[in-house]
């Protein structure tokens, strides 16, 4: 059977203008042609997607995913190679494009429908469904310029979904709308899958791709990196992302330097993270992590408290520990020194963690100085079966089979 979407050796070149001569003055006065550099946003990509298949394209931001999708949608014309799509195509990258602000929602449905290629008489039969899906029954006759951005997107989405396409192209737009709308969109996409429509799905969210797609393509800098069964490709992609993050952490290790002097001239001169096997900025789940905090101060420190907080990148603090357990108490610390925190068995699971280090005066509670490193070390937990943020000791009781009762 012939593939529904066929992409052969597709390449797309973009121009980056250094200084674009757009105005008459620039063209006349500055006679040089506008200067630009060219780069290949998509380079020699080939794809064959069969009817009824759900196909994913993953890659980092700027890897060329959306450019590839726009070439398939026919918005961009490739410089090399060719694209062919069988059947009616709709794309969820065009949400609300072409809405007229002075038109009511209802009038925009007809206008947008016509732009997307739907006859008026067909829209008449589905308009209630479109309005209902977008939950805009009360507002459908108001001009869309009065809509909130959520209403606007929901309406655009609902129109695109009701286009009854054979091929649906979906860009990362599923992140719009509230939770319940998102869920209904996913349900609808699932229905379309079951109906045997062909779906092409672009995302950098590995989870969604894993959930939806049969096969998958991973592109990097516009070129194919890996293609095939979703699990294998997504594993490869995630592995690569992790490796990159770790490298970036290690190369920036020397830059994890100190802070500016804070209150009373106290300064954190450096914070260093080492794993049990001496690896910089990296530790395995269950391994030992050492945090070395070097400080200096114009004079000896009395009654100071050190606090270290760990949090998964971009999330709330998971664990905060401080030296306020009486050992340090009112002790006088040298004007310059190193405090080391050891965590013998790191409970965190795979991911990048941020660290906040603070020194404060116990008596007043006032902070001398603090450093916050959103990406300070990586925990290598890949290959473990636990999912989540932290490893918690656990034990299973599973019934055993008494061999004497087994009937063969």
What does the binding site for other proteins look like in residue numbers (CB under 8 A)? 14-15, 22-24, 27, 70, 73-77, 88, 91, 93-94, 97-98, 100, 102-103, 110-111, 114-122, 126, 163-164, 191, 195
Least distance (Å) between residue 193 CB and other proteins? 12
Chain-centre distance of CA 402, in angstroms?
49
Number of C-beta neighbours around residue 150 at 10 A: 14
CA neighbor of 85 nearest in space, from 4, 200, 185: 4
Nearer to other proteins, 27 or 248 (CB): 27
Helix residue spans in 213-363 (DSSP H):
230-251
Measured from the CB atom, the residue of 28 and 387 that comes closer to other proteins is 28
Nearest distance in Å: CB 391, other proteins = 43
Name the minimum Å distance from CB 126 to other proteins: 8
Comparing CA positions, the residue from 63, 16, 15 lying closest to residue 42 is 63
Q: Are 220 and 89 in contact (CB under 8 A)?
A: no
* Backbone φ and ψ of 71, nearest 5°: -70, -40
In whole angstroms, the minimum distance from the beta carbon of 1 to other proteins comes to: 20
Q: In what order do the strands lie in the sheet with 282-284?
A: 282-284, 367-380, 351-361, 304-312, 319-322
What is the C-alpha separation between 112 and 313, in angstroms, rounded? 41
Rank residues 121 and 395 by Cβ distance to other proteins and give the closer one. Answer: 121
Complex with other proteins: residue 170 or 357, whichever CB lies closer = 170
Query: 94 or 358: whose CB is closer to other proteins?
Result: 94
Strand order across the beta sheet in which 336-343 lies: 267-275, 289-296, 336-343
Distance of CA 377 to the CA centre of its chain: 19
Q: Which is nearer to other proteins, 212 or 234 (CB)?
A: 212
User: How remote is the C-alpha of 112 from its chain's centroid?
Assistant: 30
How far is 231 from 213, CA to CA, in rounded Å? 9
Please state, in angstroms and rounded to a whole number, the distance separating the CA atoms of residues 240 and 228.
16
Query: Cβ distance 289 to 346 under 8 Å?
Result: yes
- Nearest approach in angstroms of CB 146 to other proteins is 14
Minimum Å distance from CB 217 to other proteins?
A: 21
CB of 83 to other proteins, least distance (A): 11
Helix, strand, or coil (residue 58): strand
Closest to other proteins by CB, 120 vs 211, is: 120
Closest separation in Å from C-beta 139 to other proteins: 19
From CA 180, how far away is CA 165, in angstroms rounded? 23
Give the Cα separation of 236 and 227 in Å (integer): 10
Q: Which is nearer to other proteins, 167 or 308 (CB)?
A: 167
Query: What distance in Å separates the CA atoms of residue 333 and residue 330, rounded to the nearest whole number?
Result: 9
Output the smallest distance, CB 186 to other proteins, in A: 14
If the CB atoms of residues 73 and 289 are measured against other proteins, the closer one turns out to be 73
């Amino acid at each position: 059977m012939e593939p529904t979407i066929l992409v052969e050796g597709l390449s797309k070149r973009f121009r980056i203008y250094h200084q674009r001569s757009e105005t008459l003055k620039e063209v006349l006065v500055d006679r040089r042609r506008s200067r630009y550099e060219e780069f290949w946003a998509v380079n020699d990509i080939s794809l064959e997607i069969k009817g009824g298949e759900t196909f994913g394209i993953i890659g980092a931001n700027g890897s060329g995913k959306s450019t590839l999708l726009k070439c398939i949608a026919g918005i961009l014309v490739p410089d090399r190679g060719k694209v062919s799509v069988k059947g009616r195509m709709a794309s969820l990258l065009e949400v609300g494009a072409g809405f007229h602000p002075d038109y009511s929602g209802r009038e925009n449905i007809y206008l947008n429908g016509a732009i997307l290629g739907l006859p008026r008489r067909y829209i008449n039969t589905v308009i209630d469904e479109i309005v209902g899906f977008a939950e805009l029954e009360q507002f459908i006759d108001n001009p869309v310029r009065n809509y909130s951005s959520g209403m606007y997107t929901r309406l655009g989405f609902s129109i695109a979904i009701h286009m009854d396409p054979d091929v649906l192209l979906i860009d990362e737009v599923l992140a719009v709308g509230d939770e319940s709308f998102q869920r209904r969109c996913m349900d609808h996409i699932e229905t379309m899958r079951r109906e045997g429509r062909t779906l092409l799905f672009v995302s950098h969210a590995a989870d969604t791709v894993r959930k939806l797609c049969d096969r998958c393509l991973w592109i990097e800098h516009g070129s194919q990196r890996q293609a095939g069964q979703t699990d294998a490709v997504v594993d490869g992609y995630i592995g690569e992302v992790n490796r990159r993050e770790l490298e970036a952490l290690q190369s920036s290790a020397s830059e994890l330097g100190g802070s500016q002097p804070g209150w009373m001239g106290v300064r954190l001169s450096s914070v260093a993270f080492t794993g049990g096997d001496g690896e910089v900025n990296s530790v395995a789940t269950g391994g030992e992590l050492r945090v070395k905090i070097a400080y200096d101060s114009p004079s000896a420190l009395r009654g100071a408290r050190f606090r270290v907080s760990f949090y998964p990148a971009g999330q709330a603090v998971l664990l905060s520990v401080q030296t306020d357990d009486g050992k340090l108490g009112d002790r006088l610390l040298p004007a310059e020194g190193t405090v080391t925190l050891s965590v013998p068995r790191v409970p965190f699971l795979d991911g990048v963690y941020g660290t906040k280090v603070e020194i404060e005066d116990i008596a007043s509670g006032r902070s001398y100085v603090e450093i916050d490193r959103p990406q300070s070390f990586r925990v290598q937990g890949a290959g473990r079966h636990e999912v989540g943020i932290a490893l918690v000791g656990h034990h299973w009781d599973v019934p055993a089979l008494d061999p004497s009762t087994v009937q063969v």
